[in-house]
Structure 1
Amino acid sequence: MVVPKAKVPDVLQLSGSSGGHLGAKRTLLKIRERFYWVHCRDDVEDWCHKCTSCAAVKGPQIRSRDALKLYNVGAPWERIAIDVAGPFPESESGNKYFMVVMDYFTKWPEVFAIPNQEASTVADKLVHEVFCLHELD
């Protein structure tokens, strides 16, 4: 059936709502089975790209990434990284986790075995095993 230009939006709307939002290629194949009009492909592709339901399902086309940031560190132990790994099989002394503390400036790692990953345990280990042993100005 030849579709007049005024009825093209109606055909496009019905093709999308009746059979789901199929994308430009499949919608074009579905429409060409029953209808014809001049510049059909262009109209279908334009309609599919502007369809809010299709866009919501597909998500954003360009995934934005934030620029990497440079953190300047001027002295040893000015900035540290802390990571807790585990649980591992329990040791004879009752420890199940490893706490890794690394200095950003020197890349010096310190590794400690700890029984749990609670904040009080991590803080106690940091104060008594890291901060008290290194001269921090």
Structure 2
Amino acid sequence: PDILHYAQVDFQGGHQGITRTYEKLRPEFYWHGMYADVEVFVKECVDCASGKGHPQNPGPSPGNIEPRRPFEVVSMDFVTHLPKSDRGNTFLLLFQDSFSGFVMCKSMRSTTAQDVAEVYEEQVFRRFGASSMLKHDQDPRFMSEVFTRFRELLGSKQRATLAYRPQANGQQERSVQTVVRSIRAYIAEADQSDWDDHAERLMFALNTSGSRRAMLSGYTYPKCNQG
């Protein structure tokens, strides 16, 4: 599935049809029934179906990668309609590693494609390298623009898959709900002007829980992120 995902779904694959996807694979790969597998995969591609005007499957894309290491798959969510903080922030952008549950956040004044690309570079890329997949619940056209901006920032091609996820689920949903509940409660009970500081403290609390420390303990990250 990962090979088919690379050939058809990611930026270089470009959601091509059955024949072009098969021809992309043929010089490097072969297995019995390969053409039939390509045909099934392309026909089941959620993004391709939605682009052609068919109803979009609300469930996960068949090409989604199951993470095998930290930060291979990262989910992204926005928390909106927050009161303006002393720093002028009204949005909170959340990233979560699907493998370990590690959560990162960035309070923001605006959420243009350029802004989101810069935050992804700061929060994810500089610290952990490029993720293979970014799951999101935003407009796919907006997210494509985000990664166009990101590639421009780096001056190179960043190959990653954008997996549209209409609704958060499982671990990601629980973490997002925890963050939202905590911030909303803080705003209701205390001075609203420093909710962004509270959000950063909340990330520390979530990420230092025993289960998440254990998930990350066997992995080494770039020295610039070690403290």
TM-score (norm 2): 0.29
Query: RCO greater where, 1 or 2, for CA within 8 Å and sep 6 or more?
Result: 2
TM-score (norm 1): 0.46
The structure carrying a bigger helix percent of its residues is 2
